Amino acid sequence: MTLSDDERDLIALHLVTGVGPRVTANLLERFGSASAVLYATSRELREVPYLGEKVASALSAALANPDVAKEIDLLTKHGVHPSVLHRDGYPANLATIPYPPHLLFVRGDIVPSDEKAIAIVGSRACTSYGRRFAERVAGDLARAGWTIVSGLARGIDGCAHRGALNAKGRTLAVLAGGLSKIYPPEHTELADEVAASGALITESCMLMEPMAAMFPARNRIISGISRAVVVIEAELKSGALITARHAGEQGREVFALPGPVDSAASAGTLHLLRQGAKLVRGADDILEDLNSLPALVEHTEVSAPTMPSGLDETQQRIWEAMSERRLADHLTAELNLPITELSRHLMTLELRKVVRRLPGNWYERY
């Protein structure tokens, strides 16, 4: 697998225990790149918000020897690729939530049409009523051009994925643990089908076990990727209600299936309906509301950048090489320029506001 240096550095940062999306965002804002974080001193790390002295020292020590090569070998072995925030292939809707994951691990493909995504979640211990509805509504929504998102869990999640697959539609499964070992194991074959017709997605490193504390964070990704969440059968203490709460906080619509008032399996959905969730009787109810919602991501036509006038031949080469953010060290190797000559040209381009310097000796076009 061929990865950019920046992707390798992000994986190295991701392998450090305790560095979640909020801390990662603060680190990248402070230092400008994962590479700069890797070379930061304990003193510099202590200046980052939410990092105390003890955590900063531990982070600095852990960053010294991240096992990146082993992780990349596992990615290659299992057909998994990294997906970086704000780059092609990253789920567009997910990028709009507070503190989105900076790095996802994906088996399969995320495509632009997946912006039209809806999550279907619910109880693992579901009834035949819930299973029947989940599979039917997932199929109907898939046939209408919507991508079905769920968590590959037993019960409602599995029914939702199968409903989409049976309708020849797209489906995305968001897992809590790493993709080197599918959980639950009886859904390994289903996971293969999902990856072939959509994607398996996680923010966990390849060998990470799906511990209980990781599922709420996973649930925010399920709702974040989607434009709405449909909850089908959930007890009052259910992970599906956590997904619904995340959806509300993220500005997504929440739908709930009514059920018998004396059924524990429907206690959570009835609670959501009392809290203002929209009652759903079938796919038509959902489509009527979804088709009237504005897209979460606005698209504008972006013309190709025009090279500024007045650049000499070397400066033109530098500008062309900076189609994306670049390290000065990478530029000098790629362009075969002595670092002193490159630095002189970069300073000229900075003064002319053609490029700008970022922390960590990174540069990007204005």
What pLDDT shows up at residue 29? 83
Residue listed under structure tokens 């990028």: 95
What pLDDT shows up at residue 305? 74
In the chain, CATH 1.10.10.10 covers: 313-365
CA gap 127, 119 in Å, rounded: 19
In the chain, CATH 3.40.50.450 covers: 94-290
- Say yes or no: domain 5-70 is CATH 1.10.150.20: yes
Contact 97, 203 (CB under 8 A): no
Q: Domain spanning 94-290 has what CATH number? A: 3.40.50.450
Contact 296, 272 (CB under 8 A): no
In the chain, CATH 1.10.150.20 covers: 5-70
CA gap 104, 204 in Å, rounded: 8
- Give the pairing of strands 362-365 and 326-327: antiparallel
DSSP string across 16-63: STT--HHHHHHHHHHHSSHHHHHT--HHHHTTSTT--HHHHHHHHHHH
Alpha-carbon dihedral 366, 27, 80, 201, rounded to 10 degrees:
-100
Grouped pLDDT means (10 residues each) for the chain, 366 residues? 83 80 83 83 79 71 75 94 91 90 95 95 90 95 96 95 96 95 94 97 91 86 95 88 90 90 87 88 87 66 72 91 81 87 88 74 76
Q: Which residues 6+ apart lie within 8 Å of 247 measured at CB? A: 119, 223, 226, 228, 229, 253, 254
Could you give the 3-state DSSP secondary structure of residue 120? strand
CA gap 302, 289 in Å, rounded: 30
What pLDDT shows up at residue 302? 45
Q: Domain spanning 313-365 has what CATH number? A: 1.10.10.10
What pLDDT shows up at residue 33? 84
Instruction: Choose among 139, 134, 167, 117: nearest CA to 290.
Output: 117
pTM exceeding 0.85:
no
